Amino acid sequence: MVTIAFAVIYAFAFLFGICIGSFLNVLIYRVPLGINVAKGRSFCPQCHNTLTARDLVPLVSFGLLGGHCRFCGAKISWRYPLVEALGGMLGLLSVAFWFVSWQALLVFAVTCVLLTISFIDWDTQEIPDVLNIVLMGLAITAIFVFRDVSLLSRVIGFFEIPVLMIVVNLIKKGSFGGGDIKMCAAAGFLLGWQNMLVAAFIGIITGGIYGVYLLASRKKSRKEHFAFGPFLAVGITVSLYMGSLIWQAYLGLFSI
């Protein structure tokens, strides 16, 4: 009986997550274009026909439609089912770590914002201020949900990485975008200074590996920029779940 109850809870978390992922697709498409996300039915970006309920069932519709618009036959981007599936995984993961709790809900919300930021930044190399404001709002909420992080640690976290980014920008103009700096400020207040260091380190390492790949494959030159937000988002997400463990493991290397 207990096993069935857990299975139902996890299944609900996944289904809830893919439904939220479907809404994130709307944000990813509309926010950069300045389209109101609260008004107007979903539509095909190619033929602009209004989509019906059977076109919008998360994951299922993509498969039933064969990855093409029912009206004009235009190919539907793989991104839509991917974001939906990632939403489901984030929902499942948050419940697996914190079960049914305010902590799980907050972490799920944060990671959904990070997912949205990642795809928008990947497309446009810009992070909309509204998403950083939402992230900061969630970071403030974390004061009452994750009480193990002190307010002092959050304040230090708010400044530590953004100040370093600004200094680097003064040395080499345009190294980091304003959206990245604001994102790190909100994330630092959310995580606290230790976990933000972990997040930044992971972001720099993963972003650096990708940068080396771009240079080696000659897809980018040294003077060209690429979106750093997705790699920061990976670091922040990992730190949300395992930041303290990674930090303690690091200190353990020096017997501290």
Q: How does residue 18 score in pLDDT terms, banded at 50, 70 and 90?
A: very high
Number of domains the chain contains: 2
Tell me: do 95 and 165 sit in the same domain: no
Element (H, E) at 148: none
Under 8 Å between Cβ of 43 and 51: yes
CA 48 to chain centre: 28
Range of the structural domain that residue 10 is part of: 1-99
Tell me: do 105 and 209 sit in the same domain: yes
Tell me: do 69 and 160 sit in the same domain: no
CA gap 161, 165 in Å, rounded? 6
Residue 180, classified by CB atoms within 10 Å of its CB into exposed (0-12), middle (13-18) or buried (19+), is buried
pLDDT at residue number 140? 98
φ and ψ at residue 175, rounded to 5 degrees: -65, -40
φ and ψ at residue 35, rounded to 5 degrees: -85, 135
Tell me: do 159 and 235 sit in the same domain: yes
Answer whether residue 2 shows pLDDT above 80.
no
Q: What is the pLDDT of residues 169-218, one digit of tens each?
A: 999 888 899 999 999 999 999 999 999 999 999 999 999 999 889 888 87
Tell me: do 156 and 192 sit in the same domain: yes
In percent, the amount of the chain with pLDDT more than 70 equals: 98
The reply to whether the predicted model has a pTM over 0.85 is: yes
Token readout for 9 is 């809870």
Tell me: do 23 and 134 sit in the same domain: no
Under 8 Å between Cβ of 161 and 184: yes
Tell me: do 185 and 221 sit in the same domain: yes
Identify the sign of the CA torsion 7, 106, 89, 60. Answer: positive
Tell me: do 74 and 115 sit in the same domain: no
pLDDT at residue number 225? 79
Lowest mean pLDDT among 50-59, 106-115, 141-150, 240-249: 50-59
Q: How does residue 226 score in pLDDT terms, banded at 50, 70 and 90?
A: confident
pLDDT at residue number 152? 98
Tell me: do 158 and 171 sit in the same domain: yes
Alpha-carbon distances, residue 55 vs 51, 59, 61 (angstroms): 6, 10, 5
Q: How does residue 219 score in pLDDT terms, banded at 50, 70 and 90?
A: confident
Lowest mean pLDDT among 148-152, 241-245, 249-253: 249-253
Q: What is the pLDDT of residues 48-107, one digit of tens each?
A: 888 888 888 999 999 988 999 988 999 999 999 999 999 999 999 999 999 999 999 999
pLDDT at residue number 53? 86
Answer whether residue 256 shows pLDDT above 80.
no
Tell me: do 207 and 81 sit in the same domain: no
Domain boundary among 68, 99, 130: 99
Let me know how long the chain is.
256
Domain boundary among 49, 75, 99: 99
Tell me: do 105 and 221 sit in the same domain: yes
Domain boundary among 64, 99, 134: 99
CA gap 116, 118 in Å, rounded? 5
Tell me: do 130 and 39 sit in the same domain: no
CA gap 38, 114 in Å, rounded? 20
Mean pLDDT, residues 107-133 taken together: 97
